[in-house]
Amino acid sequence: MIKKALDTEIQFLPGVGPKRASLLARELGVGTVGDLVKIYPFRHIDRSTITPIAEVVPDAALVQVKGEVVSVETPPKRLKITIKDGTGEMDLVFFKGLKYISDKLVPGAVFTFFGKPSVFNGRLNMVHPEIDPADGRVEAPKAIAGVYPSTEKLKNAGITGKVMNKLMANALRMVLPEMEETLPDYVLKENGLMALPFAVRNIHFPTDADALRRARYRLKFEELFLLQLSLLKQKFIRSRGENGIMMPKVGEDFNLCYNALPYQLTGAQKRVIKEIRTDLMSGHQMNRLLQGDVGSGKTMVAVLTALLAVGNGYQACIMAPTEVLARQHFANISKYLAPTGVKAAVLTGSTKASERKKLLPALASGEIGIIVGTHALIEDTVVFKKLGLAIIDEQHRFGVDQRARLWSKTTDGLPPHVLVMTATPIPRTLAMTLYGDLDVSVIDEMPPGRKPIQTMLITERQRSSLWKFIKDQIALGRQAFIVYPLIFESEKLDYQNLEQGYEKVVEAFPFPPYKVAIVHGQQTNDVKTFNMDAFVAGRANILVSTTVIEVGVDVPNASVMVIESAERFGLSQLHQLRGRVGRGADKSYCILVKGDKVGKESQHRLEFLCSTENGFDLAEEDMKMRGPGDLEGTQQSGLPINLNIASLAKDGMILQAARGYAERVLAEDPTLEQPQNRLLRIELAKGKYDVKDYSKIS
């Protein structure tokens, strides 16, 4: 069999050889020539322009200057060359290849230099710029040049940017003639995409800016389109069968509850309930993710959804991540249920045996319509009469297998409908990927009357005015949260900080008249509950805690949220914490106390938080700063796919287009078995776009 050029081992590519081959394999994972051409430039620079030295901005991106050598100095182990053009002077510093360079760069010689400018001892300089003859114009294909990922080791082995460009040119010469299209013809046409070989050539060596733009679009679209195809395929296959519990009715209880509401639902709440109702009537299993910022009124939606299930003769369960939250949900939900005849109950790890004895049979007999609880709900002893709906709050805290166990509690062969609620705003583009085939609903509107929260950033030096401020708030009858970070690796140290912090707070707020409660994860449930209740009921003025209060806890009277060592929290976590205040009618404050040495990025994060209260803006920013893989709340689900060129954080528009198009393709051919989709089948079978199949578990 004739070996394809694409499969040629990289060592046989002209300019590589065994030594560089092993380095390329180790550093960039390149084994074949085909692998090499898939290393796309992460950036392009326009080398058709030459920047006057006077206009060079230190620490800016790479620039190209053209200058005449004025002097050559040879301090030990390096070479310093000064150049000038008509506008100014610049130093060039070399540590390697000194002889070769000093032979070439003699005073009076003119070259172009390309590199990263910086400032050293007050003078503009470039370390190891690329050197090109000034008159031999830069060849056309290099006018816009790709910048490739590199490492110290590659550079030390002489694989510089320039060399990479050469290798790439050699590789393309070998593989382009035989490179096959990966997308069907009709997909290219309908989306205005250029052919693959053309795109690959232009991503490496663009003929002009427009060709580069189109090459990028083609390659990004392809990745995102195939990814969405892979994600949505299951959903389309499933939606062909009749596999969902039919819930066509609204039911008396829904109306009783709805009509007794003390407020109007927001437009967003109404829209989401409509979306849910459509799902429940469709005959297909609902798999919906409900995103809504803290305080956007998700509980109401959960209650009404549960009542729809009850109205159709089914039971509903609502799972919360913590005991405190489960009990709080139960208390809220009971209020809403008062006008109805629906019986609700709560089951957690600390529900007493005597209580369980009454509760479990009532659940099995169907007497209990709605049960709220924690992980305790998935124990084997918990048996439903007819579970038709599972609502999962803050889903990322549940493991995948736990959800699977809940699913198995179905009674009549059909899986319960699933509504997952999260207050962690995840950028829509990311949600589409992370949650696979879940449909996404967003509550993007706050109930009326919420006062803005004023967020301030202070340092330790302002501690005494902070204490005074809290005292003033307490004098007005308000309460305050003081939160300390608790990060897994340094848990011991963190608890020390928490305890020292607590002592300081107690010292500043002595009893009487002040009362300070403390809550953290190392307390027993009883102690935790006791302290928490003291704060919720208003008996304590201040609650010192770790992030255990992060999710859901509702104390409308609290008007101050102090976050200690705020630089140690991520953006979304800070936002979640801030959402604990501003729930009452009074003006609220979030005060971020930062340490003395705060990095640039942390400072930016904290300032960004001060600038906006919009959770989605914050999530977008978070994703940009940290990359989607590290986003809070998403680590557990992970981002198991490695995209080559597209970015979930930055290519939202292309992703939208690719998803919409993937839906159209699947609507025609859900299994991609028709002949025109052969190439798509082949690409998906390669496995690059396989994501965990969330449809099986939630």
Which residues of the shown chain bind Mg ion in the complex (CB under 5 A)?
A: 552
Please state the closest distance from residue 298 (CB atom) to ligand ADP, in A.
3
Query: Which residue, 223 or 323, is less far from ligand ADP as judged by CB?
Result: 323
Instruction: Pick what 297 binds: ligand ADP, Mg ion, none; C-beta below 5 to 8 Å, kind-dependent.
Output: ligand ADP
- Residue 6 near residue 33 (C-beta atoms within 8 A): yes
Q: Considering only residues 269, 433, 441, 565, which one is a binding residue for ligand ADP as defined by CB under 6 A?
A: 269
| Interacting residue with ligand ADP among 146, 244, 295, 501 (CB under 6 A) | 295
Q: Contact at 8 Å (CB) between 251 and 342? A: no
For the CB of residue 128, give the shortest distance to ligand ADP in the complex, in Å.
54
**Nearest CB to ligand ADP, comparing residues 297 and 633:** 297
10 Å CB burial of residue 287 (0-12, 13-18, 19+) is buried
Please give the C-alpha separations between residue 386 and each of 355, 382, 383, 389, 417, in angstroms, as whole numbers: 21, 12, 9, 9, 12
Kindly write out the interface string for residues 503-542 of this chain, putting x where it contacts ligand ADP by CB under 6 A and - elsewhere: ----------------------------------------
**Near ligand ADP by CB under 6 A: residue from 297, 415, 427, 501:** 297
Whether 366 contacts 314, CB under 8 Å: no
**509 with 541: CB under 8 angstroms?**
yes
Rounded distance between C-alpha atoms, residue 531 and residue 517, angstroms: 6
348 binds, among ligand ADP, Mg ion, none (CB under 5 to 8 A by kind): none
* Residue of the chain from 5, 30, 345, 423 that contacts ligand ADP (CB under 6 A): 423
Conformational region of residue 127, where left means phi above 0, alpha means psi within -120 to 50, and beta covers everything else: beta
> Cβ distance 266 to 304 under 8 Å?
no
Report, in Å, the least distance between residue 331 CB and Mg ion: 12
What is the rounded CA–CA span in Å between residue 137 and residue 267?
Answer: 62
What is the smallest separation between the CB atom of 300 and Mg ion, expressed in angstroms?
Answer: 10
**Closer residue to ligand ADP (CB): 82 or 299:** 299
Task: Quote the least distance from Cβ 217 to ligand ADP, whole Å.
Answer: 38
- 68 contact, one of ligand ADP, Mg ion, none, CB 5-8 Å limit per kind: none
Stretch that binds ligand ADP, among 264-272, 273-281, 372-380, 660-668 (CB under 6 A): 264-272
Query: Which of Mg ion, ligand ADP, none interacts with 269 (beta carbon under 5 to 8 A by kind)?
Result: ligand ADP
State yes or no: residue 296 binds ligand ADP (CB under 6 A).
yes
User: Per rule CB under 6 A, is residue 299 in the interface with ligand ADP?
Assistant: yes
Q: Does 53 bind ligand ADP (CB under 6 A)?
A: no
One residue of 218, 220, 277, 298 binding ligand ADP per CB under 6 A: 298
Contact status: 291 vs ligand ADP (CB under 6 A): no
Binding of ligand ADP by 425 (CB under 6 A) = no
296 binds, among Mg ion, ligand ADP, none (CB under 5 to 8 A by kind): ligand ADP
Among 185, 263, 472, 493, binds ligand ADP (CB under 6 A): 263
Report the DSSP pairing between strands 63-73 and 110-115. Answer: antiparallel
Q: Shortest Cβ distance from residue 398 to Mg ion (Å)?
A: 15
From CA 248, how far away is CA 299, in angstroms rounded?
A: 22
Consecutive H or E run containing 602: helix 600-611
End-to-end CA distance of the chain: 47
Tell me the C-alpha distance between 348 and 342, whole Å.
20
Cα 515 to chain centroid distance, Å, stands at 39
CA 296 from chain centre, in angstroms, equals 21
Nearest to 20 by CA among 141, 154, 137: 154
Q: Single out the segment in contact with ligand ADP by CB under 6 A; choices: 42-50, 184-192, 260-268, 680-688.
A: 260-268
Among 30, 69, 211, 300, binds ligand ADP (CB under 6 A): 300
Distance CA 142, CA 24 (A): 23
**Options 292, 321, 436, 628; binder of ligand ADP; rule CB under 6 A:** 292
Identify residues 457-476 at the interface with ligand ADP (CB under 6 A).
none
- Give the nearer residue to ligand ADP in terms of CB position, either 450 or 688: 450
In angstroms, the Cα distances linking 124 to 79, 116, 129, 195 are: 16, 11, 13, 44
| Residue 6: both structure tokens together | 């694409």
Q: Binds 263, which of ligand ADP, Mg ion, none (CB < 5 to 8 A, cut-off by type)?
A: ligand ADP
Site string for ligand ADP, 381-420 (x = CB under 6 A): ----------------------------------------
Q: In this structure, what are the phi and psi dihedrals at residue 153, rounded to the nearest 5 degrees?
A: -65, -40
Torsion of CA 460, 464, 469, 471, to 10 degrees: 130
Binding pattern for the stretch 542-561 against ligand ADP, x by CB under 6 A and - elsewhere: ------------x-------
CB of 520 to ligand ADP, least distance (A): 23
CA atoms within 13 A of residue 162's CA, in its CB half-sphere: 12
Q: How far is the CB of 328 from ligand ADP (least distance, A)?
A: 9
Element (DSSP H or E) covering residue 531: helix 525-536
DSSP code for 566: G
CB of 626 to ligand ADP, least distance (A): 24
> Using CB under 6 A, which of 31, 197, 283, 447 touches ligand ADP?
447
Q: What is the largest CA-CA distance in the chain?
A: 97
Q: Using CB under 6 A, which residues numbered 100 to 139 contact ligand ADP?
A: none
Contacts of 266 (CB under 8 A, 6+ apart): 296, 297, 443, 445, 446, 447, 448
In this structure, which amino acid lies at residue 1? M
Size of site (CB under 6 A) for ligand ADP: 16
Site for ligand ADP (CB under 6 A): which residue of 45, 199, 294, 419?
Answer: 294
Q: How far is the CB of 295 from ligand ADP (least distance, A)?
A: 4
Considering only residues 226 to 245 of the shown chain, the ones binding ligand ADP according to CB under 6 A are none
From 287-295, 483-491, 667-675, 689-697, give the range in contact with ligand ADP by CB under 6 A.
Answer: 287-295
Q: How far is the CB of 374 from Mg ion (least distance, A)?
A: 15
Select the binding partner of residue 647 from ligand ADP, Mg ion, none (C-beta < 5 to 8 A, by kind): none
Going from the C-alpha of 513 to that of each of 474, 555, 667, the distances in angstroms are: 10, 21, 67
The two tokens of residue 86 are 């008509």
DSSP assignment of 635-672 = TTT------SS--TTT-HHHHHHHHHHHHHHHHH-TT-
One of 72, 157, 237, 265 touching ligand ADP (CB under 6 A):
265
Per CB under 6 A, residues contacting ligand ADP are 263-266, 269, 292, 294-300, 423, 447, 554
